[in-house]
């Protein structure tokens, strides 16, 4: 009998997005809408299990209506069981208001893996055991794998799946080793059939094959410019421990895009405007880092292009720190007295043809203007 699992993690419902006041409500709601959409996908694919490997919520201090909205979405799943692992943001404690409130509304097909241990799913008509490693605090230098009872794992003929939340060495940034650190060697030594992890917001492997046995879906709804993907989850079909098929599905509603653009003439400005006015960017938060040197009239055209792009994306952030006015003889003559030291210096640098001189004249011009401003 084939078992189908929908695997997600790190949805971070309740993330506030205070840095994006113009679209804050849209980004907050998108995470709930993505959960609802994932449940629909899982139902369409006739998945048996809906598995969340930690950080369904962004914090333990969620409001009751926010918790209810999440549970309501999950209760629409038609499969056998919903499995929720507390992560380091929504960690479990015995006096946890979050999980107490969650349990009030969750149906009998929702299993919260509150404690590390082995959970037998036979009563749910599944020949499977879950080896759960939940989080009990935001930070820990030790993962929860050591708390598992691993006796009999090699002789048991059921499908054995590990669920854990924490950093994976070589994949997740965890320089201080405070996020329940794990290693691939450690996970592979336990000889489970599959490990479904959470914590890292980027998918790993990016393109898993049917031999992959450690999976990280990444966040299903991108939450910042570090998430360059479109939001992902996995659908895993298990025929037997040796026959596992993995399908990556795109789940995100919005996308964060950051791009450096070098502008050097009117044509490059038009190319930028035409590209980022395309329909594919309408649900994107776009940060353009503009670089180059342009004539004054072309700088005005850049501003016109930025206004046009802003109409066609969800949000545009344009960084102009490295976009400067081109230093021309006309500009020097208009700003500095003929034969003055700044005038002669800038003209001498301008007459040099090398690219180094072009940078030097820009630097000299900026320094002279700064000194004049201070005076």
* Domains in the chain: boundaries: 3-250, 255-326, 328-375
Of the candidate ranges 75-84, 293-302, 312-321, 346-355, the one whose mean pLDDT is the lowest: 346-355
137 DSSP 8-state letter: S
Neighbours of 292 (CB within 10 A): 17
Mean pLDDT of the chain: 94
Contact 54, 199 (CB under 8 A): yes
The values of phi and psi at residue 234, to 5°, are -120, 145
Residue 375 has pLDDT above 70, yes or no: no
In angstroms, the CA 66 to CA 83 distance is: 19
In b/e form, how buried is each residue of 188-219, taking b as 16+ CB within 10 angstroms? eeeebbbbbbbbbbbbbeeebeeebbbbbbbb
Per-residue model confidence (pLDDT) at position 342: 86
Distance, in Å, from the CA atom of 136 to the CA atom of 133, rounded to the nearest integer, reads 10
pLDDT at position 353 over 70: no
Kindly state the average pLDDT of the residues 6-29. Answer: 98
User: What's the topology of domain 3-250?
Assistant: Purple Acid Phosphatase; chain A, domain 2 (3.60.21)
pLDDT in tens, 135-188: 999 999 999 998 998 876 666 789 999 999 999 999 999 999 999 999 999 999
pTM, 2 dp: 0.90
Find residue 262's DSSP bridge partners: 291
Tell whether omega for the bond before 205 is within 30 degrees of 0, i.e. cis: yes
3-state secondary structure of 65: helix
**289/323 Cα distance (integer angstroms):** 9
């Amino acid at each position: 009998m084939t078992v189908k699992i929908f695997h997600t993690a790190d949805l971070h419902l309740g993330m506030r997005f205070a840095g994006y006041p113009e679209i804050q409500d849209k980004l907050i709601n998108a995470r709930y809408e993505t959960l609802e959409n994932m449940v629909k996908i899982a139902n369409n694919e006739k998945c048996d299990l809906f598995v969340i490997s930690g950080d369904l919520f962004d914090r333990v201090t969620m409001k009751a209506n926010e918790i209810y909205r999440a549970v309501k979405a999950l209760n629409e799943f038609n499969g056998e069981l919903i499995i929720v692992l507390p992560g380091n943001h929504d960690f479990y404690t015995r006096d946890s208001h979050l999980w107490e409130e969650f349990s009030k509304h969750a149906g009998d097909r929702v299993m919260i893996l509150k404690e590390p241990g082995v959970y037998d799913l036979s009563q749910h008509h599944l020949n499977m055991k879950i080896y759960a490693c939940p989080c009990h605090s935001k930070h820990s230098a030790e993962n929860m794998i050591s708390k598992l009872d691993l006796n009999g794992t090699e002789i048991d003929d059921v499908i054995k799946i590990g669920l854990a939340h924490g950093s994976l060495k070589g994949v997740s940034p965890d320089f201080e080793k405070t996020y329940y650190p794990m290693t691939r060697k450690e996970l592979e030594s336990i000889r489970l059939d599959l490990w479904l992890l959470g914590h890292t917001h980027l998918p790993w492997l990016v393109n898993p094959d049917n031999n992959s046995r450690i999976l990280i879906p990444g966040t299903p709804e991108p939450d910042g410019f570090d998430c360059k993907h479109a939001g992902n989850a996995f659908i895993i079909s298990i025929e037997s421990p040796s026959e596992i098929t993995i399908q990556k599905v795109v789940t995100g509603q919005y996308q964060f895009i950051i791009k450096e653009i070098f502008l050097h003439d009117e044509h490059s400005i038009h190319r930028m405007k035409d590209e980022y006015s395309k329909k594919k960017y309408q649900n994107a938060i776009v940060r353009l880092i503009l670089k180059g040197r342009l004539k004054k009239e072309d700088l005005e055209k850049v501003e016109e292009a930025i206004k046009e792009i802003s109409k066609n994306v969800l949000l545009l952030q344009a960084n102009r720190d490295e976009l400067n006015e081109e230093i021309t003889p006309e500009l020097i003559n208009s700003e500095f007295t003929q034969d003055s030291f700044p005038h002669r210096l800038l003209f001498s640098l301008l007459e040099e043809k090398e690219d180094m001189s072009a940078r030097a004249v820009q630097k000299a011009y900026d320094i002279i203007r700064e000194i004049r401003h201070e005076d």
